[in-house]
Amino acid sequence: MTTPVSPPAVILPSVYPQLGSTNFNQEAYDAATSLPVAFNRQGEIATATYTNAVAAVESADQAQSAAVVASDVQDVVLAAANFKGLWSSLTGALAKPACVKHGGRFWLLLNNLADVAASEPGISADWTSLDAGVTPSAVITGNTTVVPGVRYLIGAAGLILSMVGVIWAKGDYFGVREVIASGSYTINFSTTKDRTVTRGSVVIKAGFRQLDRYFEDATRGLT
């Protein structure tokens, strides 16, 4: 809503007709004719004030809604940054924030679980599908098997990120970010081609590199 500008108030004449004044008629006329204008202007000012108050309430509501949306987005991002792996590989207790992959989709945990194996994503109300376009990420400090759709943050030197046994589907994402300043690590592409090339195991020296790939097909591999 556009906030209206309040009209200026009408200033009544400072001279009021005095009995016996030699200019009584003119002063009386000036005072009498200014009153209706002043009264009308007060009404305009009151209307503008009311409209401004309504606009302020609407702005406050919009700000509150925006805050709720921002909070929801923050929750999604936080959960996506706490990727725990394949749901089928987890056992025991699992607390929020957490994200898992199951049935080809990523899921956000809504409730703390005493036994994650007893709460299956897509069936239990403890989970909601992650469909906000946030890429789940996982900090790894040891040998790890790739889960399609995850961005891996290399958190220690010497580890192996392996694609052995990974089954890719068209459009699956794979990403790497380095959070170490020195040392090296290995990406074992196994039989997965990288831009049509069969690379096998590649040793990478840390240098704050990053990698983003999407699987196309068996011939082109990750592109």
Cβ neighbourhood burial of 185 (10 Å; 0-12, 13-18, 19+): buried
Report the relative pairing of strands 173-178 and 210-217 from DSSP bridges.
antiparallel
Amino acid at 195: R
Count of Cβ atoms closer than 10 Å to residue 137 Cβ: 18
Name residue, tokens 């990727």: 83
Using alpha carbons, list the distances in angstroms from residue 157 to 82, 147, 176, 189.
Answer: 21, 20, 14, 18
pLDDT tens-digit profile, the chain (223 residues): 555 566 666 565 555 666 667 777 777 777 667 666 666 666 677 777 767 776 666 666 555 554 444 444 455 555 566 889 999 999 999 998 899 989 888 888 999 999 999 999 988 989 988 765 567 888 999 999 999 989 999 999 999 999 999 999 888 999 999 999 999 999 999 999 999 999 999 999 999 889 999 999 999 999 9
Q: How much is the pLDDT for 179? A: 94
